[in-house]
Every structure is written in C-alpha cells, then in structure tokens.
Structure 1
Amino acid sequence: MSIRFPFQVAVYLDAVARDDLEASLATFTPDAVVIDEGRSRRGPEIREWRQTTASEYTYTTDFRTLEGQDETHFVALHHLEGDFPGGVVDLRYRFELAPDGRIARLEIAP
C-alpha cells in the first residue's frame, strides 16, 4: 500500500518552520488535541500553546523523515538544537488526521 504525504501535515510543518501562527492553526480540527511536554491542549488552547512554544526558546529544527502508519496516522521525526534544557533532542510528531484531512491529534515527544 502506498501512503501519500498528507497535505495538512505538510502545511503545518511548513507554517511552523516559517513561524506562521495562523497557517499552522488552520490545519487543526476545531476540537483537536495537542500533547506536548506531557500536557494536553484542546481546541482554542492550541493557539496559546503555539504562541508560547514559538517564543520560549531559540532553536533550529531539521526535518528528518515522515513515516505513514496508515492513511490517518503519520510520524515526523525532527532534530532540534537550541537553548532549551539539554540543547539537542530528536522529537517525534505523531499526527492523527480527521476524515477531512485536518489534524485531529498531535503528540510531540522524544
């Protein structure tokens, strides 16, 4: 089975790389859930999360791979280096897509 790179995941990753808050938020469903640093955020809380994470640390990110588990589940691997605790980390962005293709769930963890 061939799995395509999902459009909304590509838009999200590009928007985050460009620090485009509105474009990144548009990729989520209204009731989406984001789990980052062990904390869940839902719906409107995602805006606050994106605003906070974008300004909390200075870092570079290097997209490494995207693997499709099936038509709605994808894992993107990113390598980050910056002034956050530890300075270097590989993070997995686990995406779950809604039937309309938008992001219904995103979990970010090592």
Structure 2
Amino acid sequence: MAPTLPTPIAAYVEANARLDLEGMLRPFADDAVVRDNGAVHRGRAGIRSLLEEAVIPVRAVFTPDTVRHEDGAVVVDGPAHGDFPGSPIRFTYRFTLDDDAITTLVITVMEITS
C-alpha cells in the first residue's frame, strides 16, 4: 500500500510515474530549489533542466514506500527504477512545502537495492 502524501508531493509522484515533465513541474513554487547529486537547481527553469537531463532520458521513476515528518519537512523514501546504472536505487526525498507548493526538494541516495 502506497503511503499517503500531501497533495503537491502526490501530484509530483503521479506525474513522475507517467514521465510527464509539465506535471512534475506544476507542484513546484516559481522560486523552488532542488538539491540533487551535489548540484543546486533554482526556479522552474533550473528544475526543468534537471528533469530533462536526469529523469526523462533514463525513465527514472520514484516509487515512495515510506513517509514521515521531520523538522517541518516531509521525508519520503523509496526506490527509483529506470534505464540507469544500478537501477533500482533507493532515495530519500526531503520536501518543504508552503502554500500547497513544493519550495525545496533535497534528493539523497539511501542505498543500492538488489
């Protein structure tokens, strides 16, 4: 059973499952920040570039299996599957929300699954 996610996070996850670029961007605030793999992506243009370069081409789909609330953030763990080395890989997505929009997302690798 999938965990219950706040609306903007659920919208992002559902769009990611369809590899829907516009749908993945929609839940982010205009000035949102995503930190992934040591890089910082600012605003919708920066996040769009990240998704176009690192998600869509390798068909990376994140499937949450746990959710918890920590220090004002919504922390979601789960595997990402796709056409990339090591797939699937477990990730932690740490979301901060404001006014029903994602304002920050920090993505970290948890562990490689078999």
TM-score (norm 2): 0.79
Give the aligned length: 105
Change (3 A) 1:9 1:48: same
Unpaired runs of at least 5, structure 1: none
Q: Is the 8 A contact 2:28 2:103 kept in 1?
A: yes
**Amino acid of the structure 1 residue aligned with 2:107:** I
Moved over 4 A (4+): 58-61
Identity of aligned residues (%): 35
- 1:9 counterpart residue number: 9
Gaps of 5+ in 2: 110-114
Q: CA RMSD in A?
A: 2.0
SS in 2 for 1:63: coil
Matched, 1:97 2:97: yes
SS in 2 for 1:104: strand
| Structure 2 CA distance for partners of 1:62 and 1:103, relative to 1, 3 Å | closer
Q: Summarize the Cα distance change of 1:9–1:81 in structure 2 as closer, same or farther, 3 Å threshold.
A: closer
Distance 2:63 2:13 in 1: 11
Look up the match of 2:112.
Answer: none
What's the TM-score, normalizing by structure 1?
Answer: 0.82
Aligned to 1:47: 48
What do the CA deviations read for 1:49-106 (whole angstroms, capped 9, x no partner)? 1111223424554321111226x410111113444333342100000012x1200000
**Higher alpha-carbon deviation: 21-30 or 81-90:** 81-90
Q: Does 1:78 align with 2:78?
A: yes
